[in-house]
């Protein structure tokens, strides 16, 4: 059977931890060459590279912040020169801080917004321009149910993830002129380091309002993401798909 992403070329931001690491491995298993960036952990980057290569796929790793616009442009040029193009972009990298709004510092607010919103722009812009030249591409953004529902998560995080929804919907209309689709997954609580930054009271209540009675596994989101980025998903654009284990609203 043909693999979902056979011979596709993907870039995944934040590819060494949690959802990003799972996305890298599943996409490689489904036939894609996978490039990714990461912030600091060289050892985790080597682990991710090894998992990609174990599936017989090519990989490139870049130690570049998602807010470093200059080096992200250089990175995009290098990937295109090496592989001839980029077919898939996954905007996964994000941070959260366990802050109450009343005590949120200016620095904390700016750090979350800069990474989760300005980083979204910085990563997407050069890759999107390449997709325009190709007249083809799929962009998938990872947002959060915290942007949709009134949950006890940090206000700056929810605000940044709500921005991802607006970004997805608006860009999808423009991008359709160039045969590029833009969709998003609104993720529930998955078993990741990012989830561990959530308030204890939210994690304790999770089993009560989630019908599956557990956190999601990163691989479960990655499996669905692979389909969303495949050619088999040819008629979805500008959509925000909730993957949260059946939370009660």
CATH number of the domain that 227 lies in?
3.40.50.720
Does 115 map to a domain? yes
- 200 part of a folded domain: no
For residue 193, being part of any structural domain is answered with: no
- CB of 69 within 8 A of CB of 120? no
This prediction has a pTM of 0.94
Give the model's pLDDT for residue 197: 67
pLDDT, tens digit (0-9, with 9 covering 90-100), for 129-163: 999 999 999 999 999 998 998 877 889 999 999 99
86 three-state secondary structure: coil
* pLDDT surpassing 80 at residue 204: no
Residue 96 lies in a domain: yes
| 95 within a domain of the structure (yes/no) | yes
**In this structure, what DSSP letter does residue 115 have?**
I
Per-residue model confidence (pLDDT) at position 189: 85
Instruction: Evaluate whether residue 13 is within a structural domain.
Output: yes
- The per-residue pLDDT for range 207-223, each reduced to its tens digit, is 677 888 788 899 999 99
Assigned domain for 175 exists = yes
Just list the catalytic residues.
Answer: 157
Domain count, the chain: 1
pLDDT of 199 reads 66
What share of the chain in percent tops pLDDT 70?
A: 94
Q: Is the pLDDT confidence value at 248 over 90?
A: no
Per-residue model confidence (pLDDT) at position 140: 98
First to last CA, the chain: 38
Q: Do β-strands 180-187 and 59-63 pair in parallel, antiparallel, or remain unpaired?
A: unpaired
Q: In the chain, at which residue ranges do the beta strands (DSSP E only) sit?
A: 9-12, 33-38, 59-63, 88-91, 137-144, 180-187, 240-243
| Nearest to 172, CA basis, from 139, 148, 131, 145 | 139
Instruction: Write out the two tokens for 106.
Output: 């200016």
Give the range of the structural domain holding residue 106, as residue numbers without chain letter: 9-188+219-243
Give residue-wise pLDDT tens across range 50-60.
999 999 999 99
In a domain, 99, yes or no: yes
């Amino acid at each position: 059977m043909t693999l979902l992403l056979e011979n596709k070329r993907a870039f995944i931001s934040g590819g060494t931890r949690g959802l990003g690491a799972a996305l890298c491995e599943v996409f490689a298993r489904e036939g894609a060459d996978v490039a990714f960036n990461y912030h600091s952990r060289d050892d985790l980057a080597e682990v991710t590279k090894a998992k990609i290569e174990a599936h017989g796929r090519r990989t490139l790793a870049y130690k570049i912040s998602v807010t470093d616009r200059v080096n992200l442009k250089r990175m995009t040029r290098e990937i295109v020169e090496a592989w001839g193009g980029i077919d898939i972009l996954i905007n996964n990298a994000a941070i959260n801080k366990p802050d109450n709004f009343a005590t949120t510092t200016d620095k904390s607010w700016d750090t979350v917004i800069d990474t989760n919103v300005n980083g979204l722009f910085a990563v997407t812009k050069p890759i999107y321009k390449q997709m325009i030249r190709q007249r083809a591409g799929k962009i998938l953004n990872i947002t959060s149910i915290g942007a949709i529902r009134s949950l006890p998560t940090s206000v700056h995080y929810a605000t940044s993830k709500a921005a991802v929804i607006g970004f997805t919907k608006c860009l999808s209309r423009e991008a359709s002129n160039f045969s590029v689709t833009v969709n998003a997954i609104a993720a529930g609580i998955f078993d990741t380091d990012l989830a561990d930054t959530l308030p204890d009271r939210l994690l304790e209540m999770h089993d009560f309002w989630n019908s599956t009675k557990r956190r999601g596994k990163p691989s479960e989101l990655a499996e669905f993401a692979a389909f969303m980025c495949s050619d088999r998903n040819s008629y979805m654009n500008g959509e925000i798909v909730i993957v949260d284990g059946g939370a009660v609203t």
